[in-house]
Structure 1
Amino acid sequence: MSDGLRLLPWTTPEGKPCYLSTDNDHSRLSLLADDVEAAQLVSAERVLAGAKAVLGDTDAGEQAMRFALTRALESLREVLRIAISRGSRIPRTSAE
């Protein structure tokens, strides 16, 4: 990704990354992306709690385990995208 582009927290229907080119962190699309990221992080916390509960349940079956793992993978993908997006927007120091 080149400088000045923000990785957005969603993809195209084909699964390709979407980027935003703007110098305005308060544009409508920037604020929408912020809201989506916040919702994804809240969702990831809930998924983590649910997966932890399933893993702690000795009676949980294969279907419950698969569901929990699938949701956890989806959340991990979203959280990693957020981390990459935010990390790329951290100003670089002159020593780098």
Structure 2
Amino acid sequence: MTEKHEPLFDEDLRLLPWTSDTGKPCYLAPGAEGGMISALADATEDRQITDAARVLGECEAVLAQPAAGALALRLALTAAVRALGDVLRVAHSRGLRLGACDDD
């Protein structure tokens, strides 16, 4: 028999651009828009997007160097993975708020 589970969170919660100390997602309750945490989340998202654009440029520069060694490629890839993860989290959070994507 399959049980229907209620969602743990109201779907209007905002997924924040950081995690807890234990790596779990953090959320902001509805109605908190315009507050300090919301402003901090907006600024963090903007910084993450700006950082991702910078990392993209740096990765392109490394890839344009035919003599780039394994360490340079590994460092570029590590930075790209981090930046991509941040930007995907921002996109997911914004998509949830717009109703454009599922929480899964």
User: How far apart are residue 25 of structure 1 and its match?
Assistant: 1.8
Aligned to 1:55: 63
Query: 1:65: which partner in 2?
Result: 73
Unaligned ranges ≥5, structure 1: none
> Residue 98 of structure 2 aligns to a residue in which SS?
coil
| Distance in 1 separating the partners of 2:30 and 2:10 | 13
Letter of the 2:33 partner, please give it: D
Give the structure-1-normalised TM-score. Answer: 0.89
- Within 2, Cα distance between the matches of 1:57 and 1:30? 41
| CA–CA distance in structure 1, aligned partners of residues 78 and 91 of structure 2 | 20
Partner of 1:18: 26
Q: Once the 2 structures are TM-superposed, how far is the Cα of residue 4 of structure 1 from its aligned partner?
A: 1.5
Q: State the superposition RMSD in angstroms.
A: 1.4
The alignment status of 1:35 with 2:60, answered yes or no, reads: no
More RCO (CA 8 Å, sep 6+)? 1
Equivalent residue in structure 2 for 1:86, among 69, 94, 97: 94
Pairs aligned (count)? 92
Could you tell me the TM-score, scaled by structure 2's length? 0.83
Instruction: Name the % identity.
Output: 47
Runs of 4+ in structure 1 displaced over 6 angstroms? none
Larger Rg: 2
SS of the residue corresponding to residue 67 of structure 2 reads: coil
